[in-house]
Chain A
Amino acid sequence: MNATTLARWQFATTTIYHFLIVPLSIGLTLLVATMQTIAYLKRGTPAAEVWDRASRFWGRIMLVLFALGIVTGIVQEFQFGMNWSVYSRFVGDIFGAPLAMEALIAFFLESTFLGLWIFGRGLLSPRLHLATIWLAAIGTVISAYFILAANSFMQHPVGLKYSAAHHRLELTSIWKVLTNSTQLVTFPHTILAALFTAGAILISVSAWHLRRAGRDGTAADPVHRKVAALGLGVVLVSAVGVSLVGHLQGQIMTKQQPMKMAAAEALWTDKTHAPFSLFAYGDVTNGKNKFNITIPDGLSILATNNPGGLVEGINDIQKDAVNKYGPGDYTPIVGLAYWTFRLMIGFGVLGALIAAAMAVQWRRGRMQSSQKLLRIATWSVLLPLLANTAGWLFTETARQPWVVFGLLKTQDAVSPNVGTGFVAFSLVGFTALYGVLGVICFRISKRIAQAGPEPQAQPVPGPTDDVLSLV
């Protein structure tokens, strides 16, 4: 257990934890803004009151999660300098810029306008108040754009030159970094995944309420039916979107990081007519699979749109890498890459199937009475959360040994002056703190979710109705 390994574990755990919350923050601010918009557009009708209560209810849940996202986010920005100082010096000329832009453009926007949204309801006109939640939501999306541009640079370095004088990479084109082909697929993929996750939590909570109402024979609050329908629509559309974009992303990754995709597919040798693996059990030391259930030509079609297309295999890429970069192990942990890739897809598909089943019942008008389906649907938010985690584990671990692909290895990037004891201290400390906060966040969210929206607003009795007409 050396400092590098500990630093890697810390980055992995803090990032995964942060990214459990972030898709919900992005997705829910967008969906709460949507609910509040519907309420505003329909103002004066009975439906407006339902959507207004929906937006307040979901706004409360959104804020509990958002707070945890904010506090864990600070750790992320600081961690590059703290644990990865060599990395920071080596790529800072390029990597620092999107991070600074993220803070200046996105963080100020989302924080300021979220504060205005929370506390400004009685102080701002309804239109202006609606604008505040939209600006906060847009802030979260812009934030995602910049940080993903930074990550995309690590996956596929562009817009750079190497400076021998300064022993570092230097930026030659910010435009190339912000429009990196990797970024152009990663950003929509991530935003769609965020919407998928948020839609799923809408379904989960609504299903819980609908199931209880169905079981008790009472009428469910109309909020839950409307929100469930919104959630279903969002999940189904984003599931299709995230898959299509994901497919494009896979094709781009095959060109840019062939080893990553070869490991994802447990493909050991270069092949034309490469089969798609459904289930493989590998013999890593000997560079082959012990057994493999496959679909013929499947991988060639996916990777190259051509059943006869050539797809490179792990062993061959490893040989090429040694020729290109010198001696070393350029193979990631194949089992980890293979299974995280599959789990990401599998969890996503499962989530979409549950949503599809619910949509069918909804069309038939039988959603509230399908007790078993509602019970399954209550758990459905776990699936995109697991898919998101698997996706990030895949793309980061399968890039190893590189931290900046082809230019800097992870083992060479860590802060040399931060001893094992210090990193162990922070790793244990953050893990423990995050664990406690996670439990608290979950319990508060659960309580708010199960309490449901405020009951329908009672008309305020007053001495004269003339007063109300002045409002």
Chain B
Amino acid sequence: MQAFWFGVIAVLWAGFFVLEGFDLGVGVLLPVVGRTDVDRRVAIRAIGPVWDGNEVWLLTAGGATFAAFPAWYAGVFSGFYLAFVLLLVGLILRGIGIEYRGKAETARGRQWCDVAFVLGSFLPALLLGVAFANFIRGVKLDSEGNMTNTFFSLLSPYALLGGIVTLTLFTFHGAVYLALRTTGEVHDAARRVIPVLGVITGVAAVAFLAWTAGVRGGWVSFVLAVVVALAFVASLDLAVKGREGAAFAASAVTTLLVPIWVFAALWPNVLPARNNAALSLTVHNASSSPYTLKVMTVVALVMTPIVLVYQAWSYWVFRARVTGADLDHDAYGSGAVGRTIAKARQSASELLGKPEPATVIEEVVTSPGDPRPPAP
């Protein structure tokens, strides 16, 4: 069961990487794809309904680690203290930047939200790679399982390269996501940036994968590394060719496999000790009791399919590409009613064989934060 839970946590991190990966990527890309206010709103609207549910994968990975491997949770979270503080600050800024942008009254307010959103995406994207690289490289542990590294020792070239890999990979994944989920300027800007991003990511990733093979891991992780690289190349190729759905599927496979590959390289360690291999935290010495693992297994087996079903359903509900017109039809304002009527009118004209009527603004639509419309 310890092995099973090692796998569960790998899967939870994989879910987090594939889903939050593109959220973070969209954030990092905002200055590039969002030249105007409308474009920025389109980009944010592409992740708006799903970013919070995506972030929960991180909380579940953390919670599951606490429940199944408390010594690992304690060792990592206290040992990487400063990194976690910065990660938390990033996540806080990002969440507030996304949620308050529509409620800001002034352009200046919106700008601050954008800064928060971008910075709050950049920091986690970078720090996650640095952290995972350090897991692979190993840390200094004492006999109680406490990390004794200095903060700066966590910023080795290998770790920094790891950070660059996640940063560029998430940004690439975000660009591929935007190319699939938006239209107009944002879509075009995302497509333009993909080739450059792809090359930088590819170089960093291949370097990191190759370097890792020399640091830790066996043939399983090596095979997975090759698959990750191939999936990435496929994604870049498909994206450049304009096959947006397939490209996203491939980049999803890539980002999803990265944590799986990391965990395969780590096995059976969870937190290797560079200073003395005997002090490493492993699936055997860091896990909870068999009873706890059994309880959590039952909960996980029951709940995970349910969560996957309704999260998948929510993505299906929001499957339509985001256009500028959607922004006026936010749930906050009365615009949603107008949109439904506009859709009905369009279907009616089609049914009756009449040409579609010219778009007339019949109702002043509002978005959160816009000043109240004048009475008609």
Contact = CB atoms under 8 A, between A and B. Distances in A.
A74 B81 contact: no
A2 B295 CA distance: 38
B63 A96 contact: yes
Interface string A114-140: 111111111110000000000000000
A437 B63 contact: no
Interface string B37-67: 0000000000011111101101110111111
B73 A81 contact: yes
Interface in B252-310: 288-289, 291-292, 295-296, 299-300, 303-304, 307, 310
B296 to A, nearest CB: 6
Contact of B375 (A115, A455, A460): A455
A120 B53 contact: no
A209 B41 CA distance: 32
Contacts of A455: 375
Given A170-B291, A467-B345, A104 B73 contact: no
Contact of A70 (B95, B148, B339, B347): B95
Given A71-B91, A88-B66, A468-B341, A112 B311 contact: yes
Interface in A76-97: 77-78, 80-83, 85-86, 88-89, 91-97
Interface stretch (A193-201, A227-235, A411-419): A411-419
A108 interface: yes
Contact of A102 (B63, B71, B142, B307): B63
A186 to B, nearest CB: 21
A471 interface: yes
Contacts of A294: none
A60 B368 contact: yes
Interface stretch (A268-276, A345-353, A421-429): A421-429
A71 B92 CA distance: 5
B108 interface: no
Contact of A77 (B62, B70, B105, B295): B62
A105 B303 contact: yes
B338 interface: yes
Contacts of B289: 93, 163, 166, 170-171
Nearest to B287: A93
Interface stretch (A366-374, A397-405, A444-452): A444-452
Interface stretch (A61-69, A277-285, A355-363, A383-391): A61-69
Interface residues of B, number: 88
Interface in B74-112: 74-79, 81-82, 84-85, 88-89, 91-92, 95-96, 99-100, 103-105
A463 B372 contact: no
A94 B295 CA distance: 11
In the A-B complex, list the 4 residue pairs whose CB atoms are closest, starting with the nearest: A92-B70, A81-B77, A96-B67, A122-B336
A111 B47 CA distance: 13
B-side binding surface: helix, strand, loop or mixed? helix
A365 interface: no
Contacts of A179: none
B332 interface: yes
A101 interface: yes
Contact of A89 (B60, B74, B330, B341): B74
B129 interface: no
20 contacts: A74-B92, A75-B88, A81-B74, A82-B85, A83-B78, A85-B74, A92-B67, A92-B70, A92-B74, A103-B64, A113-B314, A116-B314, A122-B331, A122-B340, A417-B147, A425-B82, A440-B100, A454-B333, A460-B362, A471-B344
Given A74-B55, A89-B70, A92-B73, 15 more contacts: A82-B78, A85-B74, A85-B78, A105-B303, A112-B52, A112-B311, A115-B49, A123-B317, A166-B289, A174-B295, A416-B144, A422-B81, A429-B89, A437-B96, A440-B96
Interface of A: 56, 60, 63-64, 67-68, 70-72, 74-75, 77-78, 80-83, 85-86, 88-89, 91-97, 99-105, 107-109, 111-124, 163, 166, 168, 170-172, 174, 415-418, 422, 425-426, 429-430, 433, 437, 440, 444, 447-448, 451, 454-455, 457-458, 460-463, 466-468, 470-471
Given A112-B53, A119-B48, A85 B339 contact: no
Contacts of A71: 91-92, 95-96
A467 B349 CA distance: 9
A100 B66 contact: yes
Nearest to B148: A417
B162 interface: no
Contacts of B55: 74, 111
Given A426-B85, A437-B92, A112 B314 contact: yes
A118 B331 contact: yes
Contact of A467 (B77, B99, B310, B344): B344
Contacts of B330: 119
Contacts of A417: 78-79, 142, 146-148
Most chain B beta-carbon contacts within 10 A, residue among A91, A122, A454, A470:
A122
Interface in B325-374: 329-334, 336-341, 344-345, 347-348, 357, 362-363, 366, 368, 372
Given A92-B288, A170-B292, A417-B78, A467 B71 contact: no
Contact of A171 (B53, B66, B291): B291
A75 B362 contact: no
Contact of B71 (A67, A89, A470): A89
B27 interface: no
A67 B60 contact: no
B295 A171 contact: yes
